[in-house]
Amino acid sequence: MDIGLIGLGKMGGNMRERMRRAGLTVVGYDRNPDVSDVDSLAALVEALPSPKVVWVMVPAGDPTRATVAELADLLGEGDVVVDGGNSRWTDDLANAELLAGKGIGYVDCGVSGGVWGLENGYALMYGGDADDIAKVQPAFDALKPEGEFGSVHAGKVGAGHFSKMVHNGIEYAIMQAYAEGWELLEKAELTDNVTEVFRSWREGTVIRSWLLDLMVNALDEDPGLSQVAGYAEDSGEGRWTVEAGIENAVATPAITAALYARFVSRQDDAPTMKAIAAMRNQFGGHAVRS
């Protein structure tokens, strides 16, 4: 199979490599000429046999929307665009509609795997029509992990990114769970060595998981996490998951707690707490710090 791949950053670069190892012919394009196989989108499209399959792997939002719009002009009837980025599922509906006007198919694909994907494979959740997905299938097969799991045709257009979004929301809360437990063990000082307690949990426990393994790795590399600041970005999917919960009247208190903890971690001096301190001072004469 031939496939075009747009965006050769941390994720895209490794995905190109994994597909090539599986025998696919990958034409990659990136704005950075050092990693690009061709010098333009047009050249990428030109290089592909029909039906052309083009996988977009650029940042969500404007960059993805702009790339899809360009492809709408370059591709034609029967071709397929895959958005493998972290787009919000609501963007998929607009992208699919734009392309459908030209007879171009659209598949959205949530991709999990991070820096481990090259070796272990990428978990894939995709949405779209069966015909379009059939054209992309060899790429999905090359990218997915080797075992029987790790990929799913989740539903119609949008279902892939929606599933990946929920995956990431769950991920936020699971990370928060381990992190809360870690802080409590460290603070209580009842255990001699918190890293060894975490390490022991890797087998036989109810909470064994890949994230736990990673947490132990992190603790081994940097005991006590002394080199890491308590500061965490959020990348969109956590927010969208909470918003989708609200839209559907589904309470997501653990996922939301994880999201809010990240917001607060980025504040030096939370305005909410300035207000609390000011009110306490008003009624109780409690000292405030300045």
Nearest distance, CB of residue 46 and its own copies, angstroms: 33
Check binding of 86 to its own copies (CB under 8 A): no
Binding-site member from 18, 53, 162, 237 for its own copies (CB under 8 A): 162
User: Closest separation between CB of residue 105 and its own copies, Å?
Assistant: 18
Name residues contacting its own copies, limited to 91-130 (CB under 8 A): 112-117, 120-125, 127
Applying CB under 8 A, does 89 fall inside the site for its own copies? yes
- The DSSP output letter for 224 is G
Do 232 and 262 form a contact (C-beta atoms < 8 A)?
yes
Q: Which of 18, 128, 215, 237 binds its own copies (CB under 8 A)?
A: 215
97 classed as catalytic? no
Q: Residue 43 or 254: which CB sits closer to its own copies?
A: 254
Q: How far is the CB of 76 from its own copies (least distance, A)?
A: 29
DSSP state of 52: P
Catalytic residue list contains 196: no
| Catalytic option among 164, 180, 203, 233 | 164
Query: How far does the chain reach from its first CA to its final CA, in angstroms?
Result: 64
Integer-rounded Cα Rg, in Å, for the chain is: 23
Neighbour count for residue 54 (Cβ, 10 Å): 26
Angle at 272 between CA 267 and CA 274, to 5 degrees: 90
Q: Name which position in 26, 56, 104, 174 contacts its own copies (CB under 8 A).
A: 174
Closest CA to 55 of 132, 121, 154, 167: 132
Q: Which string of x and - marks every residue 190-209 that binds its own copies (by CB under 8 A)?
A: xxxx--xx-xxxxxxxxxxx
Is residue 155 at the binding interface for its own copies, with CB under 8 A as the rule?
Answer: yes
Which residues sit opposite 126 in a β-bridge? 109, 153
- Answer yes or no whether residue 37 interacts with its own copies by CB under 8 A: no
Query: Please, which of residues 219-278 interact with its own copies by CB under 8 A?
Result: 219, 222, 225, 227-234, 239, 241-267, 269-278
φ, ψ of residue 242 to 5 degrees: the values are: -65, -40
Whole-angstrom CA distances from 201 to 116, 178, 208, 213, 225 are: 22, 11, 6, 9, 19
Residue 99 and residue 81 in contact, taking contact as beta carbons nearer than 8 Å:
yes
- Decide: is 90 part of the binding site for its own copies (CB under 8 A): no
Q: By C-beta, is 62 or 190 nearer to its own copies? A: 190
- How many residues bind its own copies (CB under 8 A)? The answer is 138
Residue 23 vs residues 19, 35, 117, 139, 215: alpha-carbon distances, Å = 7, 19, 17, 10, 34
Residues recognised as catalytic: 164, 171
